[in-house]
A and B are shown apart, each in its own frame.
Chain A
């Protein structure tokens, strides 16, 4: 056979005993899920202002260099003791008009429940923003504002609710679709695998303390989509092989199917990772959290389709013979 592919990355018929590893994988997954839950309930997440409300200002220097300590003490004197100042990484290659690399600071001020005159309500964030902007000028001289985000308590509450709802709804619709296309065990297995991915993603965000904001919710939903992609492709092959090898035990059929799709699983993960790593390295602070979540999601999603979604079919006692539910779509 004439083969001009430069690299034959994977053997044509890999026979990795995935299903034999399922006990180890189950222990690993259970530990990871419990650890994530514990982390989430003890350490919690570093929520961004989308979910907590508050103010974030990105400022850049005009003439002199910005002094973090000076900004911090100025904020403290204004009465924002919990405000934080940190340097940020701008998108790759950002330069000021003078051609100097940008070294900006991000100032975060927590949610203000009332303004200076003690008036409660939605206007308090704006009042704090104006105060910080004017008083900072007298303390550190000229600076310019590159980015401002102010989210009131009501809006942040709504965003939090919407974020939770979107993940919940997505999982529900997916369950419904897979149920419709396969047996119920497949739907259950896929959704449990997805929940596993979501929990582990939340766990890793809790562990690293990376800011958890609206774009992370988007990333989680994309992870859901990606992991599902993987799971559905393995499931599809399982369904096909169940018909093909009527006499083989379920575990063996599962293993053959995972191995059949293994090269595809790895190739797609690699191409997706290639794109995501480029984004992670070059995208700057604004996209760092998002691409980190996605990179993590590619690993977890691939792992879960092989070690969670498929063995779950055994645990859920998928019945042989009744495995042709749903019709095939031949386009």
Chain B
């Protein structure tokens, strides 16, 4: 146990020295750090609870996306039937739970409809061989056909929705890309958003809460000017088939709402660009926009056919403005006015440029910490670890005397340095519970040395020679040390996999602390003891 080969000694001191180098950046200023090479410039990553910032868990409303997918599918089915040369006659096509039910007039109609429906089912990802289809068609009876969205497609839609939401959020919250945001999927339907540092959280929340769904709809002038139809629409939301009712937005300065056609091809996806600008006539502001080519053509066609009617600009289910079409708008650009101030116009154009969120997001968890609180926590953590360290060191000297006390304390300080080194190297995040973990490690790290020293004492007491006592002491302590540390490790690993956020940070420091304390107490301290023994060859042990 006490013999170390030259290469082993070299490796042990090498590891400790490397640890020291890796830990050094944590005590340097940022400027000094930048001059260090690669891995040696890294310092410990501080969690949001220590550096300040916002942590949010956003839940994506997937059910609305799926019901929208069903509605789109139904529209597609109706279109396919209408366009068919030999048109199948339907009794109804409707969304029925999680699928679409098409009841045909007769068995022959169903025979005709079946291949049409099957033709609508496309591979989800055409570029991938063997990709599943979007829908599954089944014939339930002579006249009933059922179209189901496949599980693979639901999964595809889910992933796409999350991915798109993350992209939109990034462009909205951090348009210039300098905030060091964390945006990542979490579980099936959630997105983790972390914004470090002092930020205006309320602004960020505003940008999350707006879905910025923009669309242009033709106004149903007949119903919108009919008082009875309007009051029914306002009170019950009931309108003629294919129409829908939207209220005016508050900022537009108008009351009530309008009945408009439900379907539209001109949506936020059409936007090529938008920007805020001053209103050409009044003191307010406007949002300029330009469409992409396809939508510009479509918009031109729509306006040419509906001169002297109105179209409603709808943002998040509220009408911003509803101007009269005086002539066909073919240029593919225009502006929206709706009682904007320069600031609200700028906000809107930022949202429009970032794109619409595919689904509504709800903040289901929020933890926001002011940087000043984080700084206080770090300082208190430093003081507490310093005092804890000092207390333990003095206690070890008192218990084991100068020689062995020093060895234990050297092992302890090496342990702290190695923990800092490992945290910096792996880029793990240090949280407030993580600091607690380190302080706890300070207390528990000496345990292995205590075990060994107690054993050595015992063996000396039983009359063994120093070398023999130390040899046996280390040998017999090995099993309990390993057992004890492996069981603690089991708790730490469980904590890591089941815990979340800051608790995970605690598990990481605890686990690193366990590994490092075994190394420093069992290997490093043993080397120190062996070196001292070889140099002094003492007759009795000062323990």
Contacts and interface: CB of A to CB of B under 8 A. Distances in A.
A3 B401 contact: yes
A279 B388 contact: yes
Interface in A283-304: 283-284, 286-287, 290-291, 294
A166 B498 contact: yes
Nearest to B455: A264
A122 B500 contact: no
Interface in A1-30: 1-7, 9, 12-13
A283 B380 contact: yes
Contacts of B433: 215, 218, 287, 290
Where chain B touches its partner, the secondary structure class is helix
Contact of A221 (B201, B363, B381, B491): B491
A1 B540 contact: yes
B499 interface: yes
B388 A162 contact: no
Contacts of A162: 498-500
Contacts of B471: none
Given A147-B369, A279-B436, A329-B479, A232 B364 contact: no
A225 interface: yes
A165 to B, nearest CB: 6
B482 interface: yes
A142 interface: no
Contact of B479 (A122, A159, A224, A330): A330
B8 to A, nearest CB: 13
Given A236-B480, A275-B440, A228 B362 contact: no
A282 interface: yes
B519 to A, nearest CB: 12
A233 interface: yes
Nearest to B364: A152
Interface residues of A, number: 90
A138 interface: no
B532 interface: no
B384 A283 contact: yes
Contact of A170 (B369, B400, B442, B491): B491
B363 A126 contact: yes
B486 interface: yes
B254 interface: no
Interface residues of B, number: 85
Contacts of B380: 91-94, 282-284
Secondary structure of the A side of the interface?
helix
Interface in A50-72: 58
B399 A91 contact: no
B506 A6 contact: no
A159 B450 contact: no
A150 B443 contact: no
A150 B484 CA distance: 38
Contacts of A281: 384
A2 B372 contact: no
B387 interface: yes
Interface in A245-288: 260-261, 263-264, 267-268, 270-276, 278-279, 281-284, 286-287
A278 B458 contact: no
B537 interface: no
Given A122-B59, A170-B491, A275 B499 contact: no
A121 interface: yes
Contacts of A267: 395, 399, 446, 450, 454
16 contacts: A9-B399, A90-B373, A169-B494, A170-B494, A214-B501, A222-B491, A224-B491, A229-B484, A267-B395, A267-B454, A272-B440, A272-B444, A274-B395, A278-B391, A279-B439, A328-B479
Given A283-B436, A331-B478, 9 more contacts: A102-B376, A122-B362, A126-B363, A166-B498, A222-B440, A264-B450, A282-B387, A287-B436, A330-B478
